């Protein structure tokens, strides 16, 4: 599996080796030792999946402590633009974001650490989006940031009038008013120890 850092080094792209022939294809979608080598100790506890049509934007979402989540996300059908925003106050990349196109042909995956807000928009007619989380969903700790906050300046890749939002996501607070994490508490080496069994 090929692993590369994005413009924010804590956010990684995983591209599996795909073996294909006339019958179809096979690839390893997750290998714990690879994640440990490049991130550290991560224990996933929940898998989620959603299906959405073109222009559906889900995000920007995160969970507040003690239910903060990391995510390893990929698309099993279709194409999305996936976005991670660093909301760790004091981080060298605080307030910055990365956007990566994920699709079901390359089977690439994005690692979003704790301390980041996450969202995606569907670029194909429809998409099935799947992700692993290292903490359980906790509705009382659910939080978010406005998808079109000018201080973040995300180019979602499609006209704004084609964006489809939930009522909740349309009302999310702007970055300056949202909950922020402490970089000291959510540094990678602190959250994902490398010396665990």
Give the side-chain half-sphere CA count within 13 A for 71.
29
Q: Which positions are catalytic?
A: 61, 131
Give every CB contact of residue 186 below 8 A, 6+ residues apart in sequence.
68, 88, 113, 114, 115
Choose among 37, 39, 125, 110: nearest CA to 77.
125
E strand segments, the chain: 2-5, 12-15, 19-21, 24-26, 46-53, 57-63, 71-77, 79-86, 88-89, 97-103, 109-112, 116-122, 126-133, 142-144, 181-182
CB atoms within 10 A of CB 137: 12
Q: State in Å, rounded, how far the first CA of the chain is from the last one.
A: 22
């Amino acid at each position: 599996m090929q692993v590369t850092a994005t413009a924010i080094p804590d956010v990684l792209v995983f591209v599996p080796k795909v073996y294909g022939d006339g019958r179809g294809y096979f690839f390893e979608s997750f290998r714990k030792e690879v994640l440990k080598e490049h991130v550290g100790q991560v224990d996933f506890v929940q898998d989620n999946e959603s299906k959405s049509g073109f222009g559906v934007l889900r995000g920007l979402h995160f969970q507040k402590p003690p239910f903060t989540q990391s995510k390893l996300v990929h698309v099993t059908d279709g194409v999305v633009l996936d976005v991670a925003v660093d909301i760790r106050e004091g981080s060298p990349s605080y307030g910055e974001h990365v956007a990566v196109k994920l699709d079901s042909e390359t089977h690439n995956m994005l690692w979003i650490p704790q301390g980041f807000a996450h969202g995606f928009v569907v670029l194909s007619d429809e998409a099935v989006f799947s992700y692993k989380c290292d903490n359980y969903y906790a509705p009382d700790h659910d939080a978010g940031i406005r998808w079109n906050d000018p201080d973040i300046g995300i180019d979602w890749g499609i006209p704004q009038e084609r964006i489809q939002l939930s009522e909740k996501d349309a009302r999310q607070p702007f970055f300056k008013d949202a909950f922020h994490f402490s970089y000291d508490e959510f540094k990678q080496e602190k959250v994902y120890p490398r010396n665990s069994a």
